[in-house]
Homo-oligomer: A and B are copies of this chain.
Amino acid sequence: MGDWSAQELEALPTRFRGNLINGIAGFKPALLVGTADAQGQTNLALFSSVFHIGASPPLLGLIVRPCPEGTERHTLDNILATGVFTLNHITEPMVPAAHQTSARYARSQSEFSATELTEEWIADFPAPAVQQSTVKLGLSLIEHQVLAVNQTHLLIAGVQWLRCPDSGIREDGSVNLVELNSQAVCGLDSYHGATEGRRFIYAKADRPPQAIR
């Protein structure tokens, strides 16, 4: 049994601790964040730190790592400059190209052109979506915080538009991520599909859990 205290975690080799802590809180969504700078130079980056904040209005959060001196954060710079970004689901065939976007490309090189992923411009929204993705969302920045605890950036954004194939949405509005072939991430480098799964009706204290058939 692996058993670590806070002190023991702090004493682990950096890489080991990074792998451990990035994976230990469970599965994460695999998403591509599409942005452009004020001149229209595009950027595409893999993120697994998107989370739900609210449904009415529809709000999502995104964590962006701090920028140690000398490093560039193209995605963050672009979002702060333009106020918008897209989120795009990664399907199983897209995984190698999606992973490749995490490489450190020069600011002048778009990850779209470096991979086989294709820009898709939706209406006049000023950030590119990914043509190959099933689900695409356009978001606008509402709040930007630098968290005091470790200088990580927290972005809160509102959904401006949302596209999803009909086959991925059930009658009750719930999303069928298995049908959409959307991937989950574990840690920094492991991509997974999901098994069929089980749904349950709304839980109430006076009745046992009941699966939806």
Contact = CB atoms under 8 A, between A and B. Distances in A.
Interface of A: 1-6, 9-10, 12-31, 48-61, 63, 65, 87, 89, 95-97, 99-106, 109, 114, 135, 137, 142-143, 147-150, 152, 154, 156, 158-166, 168-170, 172-178, 182-184, 186-205, 208-209, 211-212
Majority SS at the chain A contact face:
mixed
B25 A31 contact: yes
Contact of A61 (B19, B24, B63, B158): B63
Nearest to A89: B26
Contact of A184 (B103, B162, B166, B184): B184
Contact of A10 (B54, B56, B168): B56
B56 A63 contact: no
17 contacts: A1-B164, A1-B165, A4-B162, A16-B173, A19-B170, A19-B173, A22-B52, A24-B164, A25-B52, A52-B63, A96-B211, A103-B204, A109-B205, A149-B156, A190-B199, A191-B197, A192-B197
B52 A21 contact: yes
A41 B181 CA distance: 42
A184 B48 CA distance: 14
Nearest to A14: B56
B28 A52 contact: yes
A158 B53 CA distance: 21
Contacts of A159: 6, 9, 21
